Amino acid sequence: MYDSTNIDFFKTWSFINRGEAGIWFKNSGDTMLYSCIYLESDDLSKLIIGRQENFIKDFEINLPYDTAFWRISILQESNMLKVIGVDNYGRDVAVIENVTKDSIIKNEDPFVKFKELTELRKSLGFIGVQYYERLGGFIQFYLSPYHILTYIPSYDSLNPTYKQVWIEEFDRGVWITKHWNLRKLDKPLDNG
């Protein structure tokens, strides 16, 4: 269910549907701090992280930041981890192999966090979500390639530069409640 707890949560986390898992983004306002793909199978979980420095800081992971890698992957099998870096030539390089989870992850477990995020996304039934602080603090939930559910805190919060454009856009939709607008697009979203 979409509620005020979820709304505030998605001011920090956005998501786009890509491939088999999609990409989560940790944001601060309109700035993307890092991206993460979370994949899970019966015996293996995998995090693929872009902008690893911010991810390492956010989760306080005992892993050195290495500028030689533009992306890292952390693989978890049982309680053991393996870290693979991807260098600027696209080559996989084993950074750490066969270490216990507790030796790297001291506080919040990113595997648990991204599992929770994925379960929340599935329970709410959206294929994408984005917070637009600069435009006026509204959040758009992409329910399908054609349908967008938008939470608008107030027309007063809309950026004056774009306010009229967005009012006209929202007026094309149906107001479900005072703060919720549902629109159907004429053309499907280009999702990649």
pLDDT tens for 21-63 read 889 999 998 899 999 999 998 889 999 998 889 999 999 888 8
More confident residue, 154 or 110: 110
| Dist CA 15 CA 130 (whole Å) | 7
Q: Which 3-state string (H, E, C) describes 92-149?
A: EEEEEEEEEHHHHECCCCHHHHHHHHHHHHHHHCCCEEEEECCCCCEEEEECCCCEEE
pLDDT above 70 (res 192): no
Element (H, E) at 57: helix 52-59
Looking at mean pLDDT, say which of 7-11, 64-68, 161-165 comes out highest.
161-165
Helix, coil or strand: residue 185: coil
SS percent in the chain: helix, strand, coil, step 5? 25, 40, 35
pLDDT above 70 (res 4): no
pLDDT band at 5 (very low <50, low <70, confident <90, very high): low
pLDDT band at 167 (very low <50, low <70, confident <90, very high): very high
pLDDT above 90 (res 170): yes
pLDDT at res. 111: 93
Residues paired with residue 147 on neighbouring β-strands, in sequence order: 184
Ramachandran quadrant class, 125 (left: phi over 0; alpha: psi -120 to 50; beta: rest):
left
Across 115-140, average pLDDT? 91
Across 134-155, average pLDDT? 92
pLDDT tens for 73-95 read 999 998 899 999 988 888 888 88
pLDDT at res. 151: 93
pLDDT tens for 53-78 read 999 999 988 887 777 888 899 999 98
Q: ∠ at Cα 53 (50, 58), nearest 5°? A: 100
Reading the block at residue 59, the tokens are 């989760």
Considering only the C-alpha atoms of the chain, give the largest distance between any 2 of them, rounded to a whole number of Å. Answer: 56
5 in Cβ contact with 121 (< 8 Å): no
pLDDT at res. 1: 62
| Dist CA 75 CA 84 (whole Å) | 8
Helix, coil or strand: residue 8: helix
